[in-house]
Structure 1
Amino acid sequence: MNGVVLASPGAGPTSLSPSAGPSRGAVEDVAEEAALAALLRCCVREVAGPRGQVWPAGPYLLLRMAGDLIRVPTSGGLALRFDGPAERLDTGSWSPLSVDELVQLVESELGGTGHNAPNRDSAGEDAPAGANEEFAGQVTESRAAISTLLRARAGTTPPEDPWLASEQSLVYGHPFHPSPKSRGGSGWVRYAPEAHAAFPTRLLGVRDDLLATGGDPQVLDGLGQAPPGYTLLPAHPWQLELLGAELAAPFADGRLVDLGPSALPAVPTSSVRTVYEPQIGKCLKFSIDVRITNCVRKNAWYELTAAAELSTRLGPVFADLGRRFPGTRWLREPGYRSASLGTRLLEGLGVIVRSSPWEVTGPGVTPVLAGALAAPDGGDVPGALRRDPSRWWGAYVDHVALPVLDAYFRHGVVLEPHLQNVLVGIDAEGMPVEAVFRDLEGTKLVAGRHDVSGLPGQVARAATYDATRGWNRVVYCLMVNHLPEIAATIAGAAAPGDGGVLLRALWADARERVARYAGEHGHPLPLRDLLAGVPLPAKANLTARWTRSADRDTGYVPVGNPFAGIPT
């Protein structure tokens, strides 16, 4: 990989090496800083910003929360990188802001008791938005999880496979989530990718008359041998612990049999529940019945069916994208298996087969998780990026952004190109030459562009978006979640004082590339709006956690468009 080192992107600092054996105090300081940064970004984007309570002031960004003034030095544009500690104005002087203090301000603001509380009624009295007794605990839990992960990584060795090493590098999580490392259950560190975990999957046999299957999952048979009358079904050991008593009866009466651990350790990838199974060279997407960040990570029955259906339908789409945009790849999900033991266990034991990126990348090309390239300090990046950042960025935009736009406009397909769903193929020079798109749960067909009349109702709904919702998802993932983080990393690697100039040049270059694509395809209205600099939709993760909404119901807030103000 020409010296590429995979750093931890997202909300946290990178001054502390996770494998350096840090002291407990140092770990807690890093976790505090990471948790504070993530929550503060959400406050800027979802609370203070929409209410007109954010102002630039030299190197600082000022914001007001529940009447209190906060300042923090920033860079990176839309990515909102923090270049120093956040402070709170207290009796005329600035003092460090803590996570617990910020949580209290959020609770006051969103609970309707702060000076800037929303939802005032016609008499001018506060109409409280409602309390959330879980919120502080979720933020605290996430901070504690970061501490746990940093300690667990100390003295461990990342996988030799650079792709798997990148999958396991996301210690700090989503940079715009109030509790990016919150996860339910107990004993999870044994299965945490960020802790460099590896473990054998558990092999079950499901009685043949109870087998639930779709598509072509036959590759699973390479994991072991089921007894006569049974079919092999791999399971995540954490999920078996979580299901516990619900499995007692099926095991007791022989509907299921326990065949023991798989022969080789599986390696968990960034989503926690998806693992790489080296014995068959495939990824397996399991259900895990705990909430990780926003939602419980289970394979709903209709999502099992939709994955196999989309794998069939998307073959011609990606064949065309590959011809039009060489280097475009995708990871098929050709089939699934489970057990017909009621909906709860059908979903709980469901496993989706997914291709591995090594199956689709070209010779001499190394797949790397895009999120691992979004290091906040720009410290560990491909050498080619440092030598020629403009050329590197241009190649990146061409390989990642343009196929996503073409999938939507030409084929009516919504890809979900956020930082954990895209793998970037890096050549020996360190240049981006491929983009690998994955996770069909987030991939949708635009309603009206595809015939889904033959699918069961819930499967059709799981596989489709209307055009507006689909475009919002595309433009959020691409223009808010993904490209700004990569651009900020590139700008952060520039010489001191040059980052801002480089950042503007990067966005001007990206706009030119998107404009060229738009001109070749009749200037569709969504692209005209995007190029004109209209505000972009940003997923409102803080609001979703506060209102305890399902992830699928999470709304958007408007944020600035990095194309705004660029001369045409």
Structure 2
Amino acid sequence: MHLPASPAEEAVAAGLDAVRPALGPSYEAALPGARAAVLTRLWRALAFEPLPWVVGRERGPGGLALRLAGGGRLEGPPPDPYATEPYVDELLLDGRPHRQAARLVAALGVPHGEEFTAELDGSTASLALSRAGQPPAGRDGAPRSTWEWEQRVVDGHPYHPNCRSRPGFSVAEQLAYAPEHRPVVELGLVAVRAEECLVTDGWPAELRDGGRILVPVHPWQAAHALKHERVRGSFAAHPLMALRTLAPAAGGAHVKTALSTRLTSSVRDISVYSIETAAAVSAFAQSLSERLDGRLHVTRTLGAATAHSPDLAAVLREPPEVFADAAAGERVLPVGALGAFPPARSAAWRAEFARLALEVCLRVLELGVALEAHGQNLLLVLSATDAPVRLVYRDLADIRISPARLVRHGLPVPPLSGRLVTDDVTVLRRKLFGSLLTGALGATAGSAAAFAEALSEAAGLPPTADTEALLTDPLPTKALTLMRLSPGIQGDQWAELPHPAAGG
């Protein structure tokens, strides 16, 4: 059935006509699959998140029906909270079929739904553009570097309906900056007087100019958020999964830039707090990783600077490739790219990976640190035979540290305060379980049944209260749609997913 194009879908088609008309037919062909992918993600949210206007859920052999405030009824197939392949082509609202996520949310008329509707529309159109821009099958060589693997993540977040939402990006800018389109990006430099900056001691000499600090700036940020700033110089870099983090083409430290637009859920600036704590958190993480027998490496923060503004800041980070022995044939892949890694289709391989990830990350939690170990932050070192060897973790900006647990294990408590520090068991478990379990491992498995098989590896772990909770309790996941529909509530909100061992 032919569906009329939505406003965002029409806008992308018009943009392609102007800048890349040859992609037009591929984009049109990609739209049905993109619509199903976003609708599948939205159905997961509607089925499991504590949305206040969903007043009841009726499960039956034929699927799930939601009773809505006001008397409406929304029906769809049995939901799989861990599925990554699209399986929802349409949902029935009071018997009327809906095949586009944005139009469904508009029809639902939910509070604060206007902005979310536009984001869903943009996510669908951008996802179709991302898929349309891929090389033809058989003409895409095997990735050789970590950044090439990162750029194989075409569909973005595996569970967020806004998986490819990029408001403020034109079609030309998506093609020029988005990692899945495999561009080379020219990062600019903004000179700021040193006395106007907060900067770590490790800021390199090549990014200083006398009494000025040279802050790397993403070209989108330079054009849209820093119009009054004088950008000078540039260097070429490859965008990574995070889009705003790039690997310089000449090698060296990865550069995390500020990007003041909402990508997926969050505005991607860099807080002053993150710069203030960067050096202390990095040093602490290095000392902690030494307790893991070489099975976990944490990329060091090599420098951080801000002009006391989240819009003009940058972090320099050690590249994860330094932890692989290239001479021995080792390589590093981000966990989010495992969907494009053929060995990960094997149940035995997934079990081996799950065992490593669970052992290491639960041990770190027991010691006192909850990692945000989703598929973007967590990387895997593979042997020459593609066996999982050890883990690499990057981006320390949103971990959680428990002073009480550190003291219990005789570890020094870092000189930190603020949001990174908590002894709340629920907060700690949500941080790790919601990223590693319902994020990285669930998405790698791709279904509740496959995830249950991989998660069975936890049964052999040392018995702790955290392990017991992992094996028996419902699993936490960020309520991403609820968060987008709750503009007055700060911070994360959560949902509970059925434990995959209980049948998903």
1:530 aligns with 2:470: yes
Residue 439 (structure 2) aligns with: 481
Match in the other structure for 2:33: 30
Instruction: Confirm or deny: 8 A CA contact 2:122 2:167 kept in the other structure.
Output: no
Give 1:542 shift: 0.6
Q: Does structure 2 conserve the Cα–Cα contact (< 8 Å) formed by 1:48 and 1:54?
A: no
Q: 1:160 offset after TM fit, Å?
A: 4.8
Q: Which residue of 2 aligns with 1:335?
A: 303
Letter aligned with residue 332 of structure 1: R
Indicate the residue corresponding to 2:150 in structure 1.
167
Larger mean CA deviation between 167-176 and 283-292 belongs to 167-176
SS for the counterpart of 1:169 is coil
User: What is the rounded CA distance, in whole Å, between the counterparts of 1:381 and 1:211 in structure 2?
Assistant: 42
Partner of 2:269: 298
User: In 2 relative to 1, CA 431–104 (structure 1 residues): closer, same or farther, beyond 3 Å?
Assistant: same
Rounded to whole Å, the distance in 1 between the matches of 2:497 and 2:414 is 39
Greater relative contact order structure (CA < 8 Å, 6+ sep): 1
Partner of 2:499: 561
Which shifted more, 425-434 or 159-168? 159-168
Q: Give the 3 Å change call, closer, same or farther, for CA 182–52 of structure 1 in structure 2.
A: same
CA 1:281–1:229: 2 relative to 1, 3 Å: same
Greater C-alpha Rg: 1
- Counterpart AA for 1:433: V
Amino acid in structure 2 at the alignment position of 1:553: G
* CA displacement at 1:565 relative to structure 2: 8.0
Letter in 2 for 1:72: P
2:82 aligned residue (74, 78, 83): 78
| Residue 308 (str. 1) matches residue 279 (str. 2) | yes
Distance 1:195 1:213, change over 3 A: same
Structure 1 pair 32/454, CA: closer, same or farther in 2 (3 Å)? closer
Q: Percent of pairs identical after alignment?
A: 24
Assess, with a 3 A threshold, how the Cα gap between structure 1 residues 227 and 48 changes in structure 2: closer, same or farther.
closer
Shift of 1:537: 1.6
- Matches of 2:131 and 2:83 in 1, distance apart? 24
Residue type matched to 2:364 in 1?
A
Distance 1:332 1:23 in 2: 41
1:517 alignment partner in structure 2: 462
What SS does structure 2 have at the residue aligned with 1:173?
A: coil
Relative to structure 1, the CA distance from residue 308 to residue 291 in structure 2 (aligned partners, 3 Å threshold; closer, same or farther) is same
Aligned residue for 1:312, secondary structure, equals helix
Partner of 1:234: 216
Q: Any residues of structure 2 matched to 1:381-420 within 5 Å, and which?
A: 381-383=341-343, 385=344, 389-390=347-348, 392-410=349-367, 412-420=368-376
Unaligned runs of 5+ in 1: 1-18, 112-129, 252-257, 492-499
Alignment-mate amino acid for residue 53 of structure 1: R
Unaligned runs of 5+ in 2: 1-21
Amino acid at match of 2:104: L
Deviation, structure 1 residue 55: 1.9
Post-superposition Cα deviations, 1:460-496, rounded to whole Å, max 9, x if no partner, equal 213313332112211211221121222237x9xxxxx
Paired residue secondary structure (1:206): strand
Which secondary structure does the structure 1 equivalent of 2:224 belong to?
A: helix
Look up the SS of the partner of 1:462 in the other structure: coil
1:42 alignment partner, SS class: helix
Residue 365 of structure 1: aligned partner: 330
- Structure 1 distance, partners of 2:185, 2:141, is 14
Q: Do the aligned partners of residues 289 and 159 (structure 1) sit closer, same or farther apart at CA in structure 2, a change above 3 Å counting?
A: farther
Residue 30 to residue 361, structure 1, CA distance change in 2 (3 Å): same
> What is the CA distance between 1:178 and its match in structure 2?
2.8
In structure 1, the partner of 2:92 is 88
> Retained in 1: the 8 A contact 2:303–2:316?
yes
CA contact under 8 A between 1:424 and 1:432: conserved in structure 2? yes
Identify which of 367, 379, 384 aligns with 1:428. Answer: 384
- Cα displacement (A) at 1:45: 1.7
Check if 1:179 corresponds to 2:162: yes
Match of 1:140 among 114, 121, 126: 121
SS of 1:284's equivalent? strand
Classify the secondary structure of the residue corresponding to 1:85.
coil
Q: What is the rounded CA distance, in whole Å, between the counterparts of 2:451 and 2:186 in structure 1?
A: 44
**Does 1:352 pair with 2:354?**
no
* Contact 1:21/1:154, CA 8 A, preserved across alignment: no
Q: Does 1:539 align with 2:478?
A: yes
For residue 150 of structure 1, report the CA deviation from its aligned partner: 3.0
* Bigger shift: residues 205-214 or 189-198: 205-214
Q: How does 1:208-219 map to 2 (within 5 A)?
A: 208-218=194-204
**Structure 2 residue aligned with 1:41:** 44
Distance 2:290 2:84 in 1: 37
Kindly tell me: are residues 485 and 54 of structure 1, through their superposed partners in 2, closer, same or farther at Cα, counting changes over 3 Å? farther
8 Å contact from structure 2 (residues 179, 243) kept in 1 = yes
Q: What TM-score comes out, normalization by structure 1 length? A: 0.74
| RMSD (Å), alpha carbons | 3.2
Deviation (angstroms), 1:95: 5.2
1:506 correspondence with 2:454:
yes
Q: TM-score, normalised by structure 2?
A: 0.82
Residue identity matched to 1:335: G
Whole-Å Cα distance in 1 between the matches of residues 459 and 250 of structure 2? 45
Q: What is the CA distance between 1:353 and its match in structure 2?
A: 0.9
